[in-house]
Amino acid sequence: MKILITGGTGSLGKALIKTLLCTNPPEKLVVFSRDEWKQHEMMHEFKHPCLRYFIGNVRDRARLYRAFDGIDIVIHAAAIKQVPTAEYNPFEAIKTNILGAQNVIDAAIDCKVKKIIALSSDKAVNPINLYGATKLCSDKLFVAANHYSGKHNTRFSVVRYGNVVGSRGSVIPLFKIQAAKGTLSITDKRMTRFWITLDRAADFVLECLEHMNGGEVFIPKIPSMRIRDLAYAICPDCKLEEVGIRPGEKLHEVMIPADEAIYAREFENHYVIYPHWEKRGLPGWACPDRFTYTSSTNNDWLTVLTLRRVLGK
């Protein structure tokens, strides 16, 4: 198969490439991204004859058509992801996360891509910030795209997960810098988040690619963490200073709201929200009435000891 990853120089893009090269290298693996320097660094980090590097932006429709020519599978990871950046530059986030998503969809259909999976976020659920709102729009576009792929039979699905350990923009590097001063700034001691490692996220995306039929939103079962526990795991002797929740930030995150749970099915290691047109003979188990999958009511929690082990401390 020939695979292309938009946003391929990002944290998850690199994890996907590493996993693919170590397990089952495709015939061609295309890294599609805007940043020439990051691509230059990756050329030195990853050595494999299947790799190709393609400078481009998902806002550029014509460039996507050229890049998708002959591609079988697309993993769409390109996005403006920083909440404050999206709040301050709203239409830039819209142009990349929404208009760019539609460009990817159109190019995939016309270039006869077989499967495309888009990466989403827990912030797309009941969004209160622009980033979450753009990802919600993007998710809707990708699910609906299954209706008009027509004779090309391109299939579209979505993967939704929480905060990624080790990704750029994570609070962990900030805490490590602040630890030298003896005080860590946290937004609210009550705050909780879903947490997934880069390796687990990459594995889950590839598993979903294998099992997708089109229209599904895949959600992994992952642990929650308390922000104060993460701070203590990094620096147990540091003082914690509450600075308040930032604009557009939630106290707790949701991955399956009650309104979507009626379409959700539970599996051993994940959930799937099926499209409304799939109603009979679905695998898995129906979720309980009024079920929600929320970071504050999760059954799986990372303790300070587990967090320190994950962080290699």
Find the catalytic residue in 2, 81, 115, 123.
Answer: 123
Taking the C-alpha atoms of residue 248 and residue 246, their distance in angstroms, rounded to an integer, is 6
Tokens standing for residue 291: 């079920």
Whole-number Å distance between alpha carbons of 217 and 157: 6
**Nearest-angstrom CA–CA distance, 204 and 207:** 5
Residues whose CB is less than 8 angstroms from the CB of residue 272 and which lie 6 or more positions away in sequence, other chains included: 216, 217, 218, 219, 264, 265, 284
Separate counts of helices (H) and strands (E) for the chain: 12, 17
Residue 59 has φ and ψ, to the nearest 5°, of -75, -20
Cα-atom radius of gyration of the chain, to the nearest Å? 19
List phi, psi (to 5°) of 102.
-65, -35
Identify whether the C-beta of residue 73 lies closer than 8 Å to the C-beta of residue 115.
yes
Q: Return the closest-CA partner of residue 71 out of 7, 106, 28.
A: 28
Pair of tokens at residue 289: 């009435």
Q: What share of the chain is helix, strand, coil (3-state, %, to 5)?
A: 40, 20, 40
Q: List Cα–Cα distances, 153 to 100, 109, 144, 245, 289, in angstroms.
A: 21, 8, 13, 45, 35
123: annotated active-site residue:
yes
Q: Name beta bridge partners: 219.
A: 271
Distance, CA of 7 to CA of 167 (rounded, Å): 13
Q: Which residues are catalytic?
A: 123
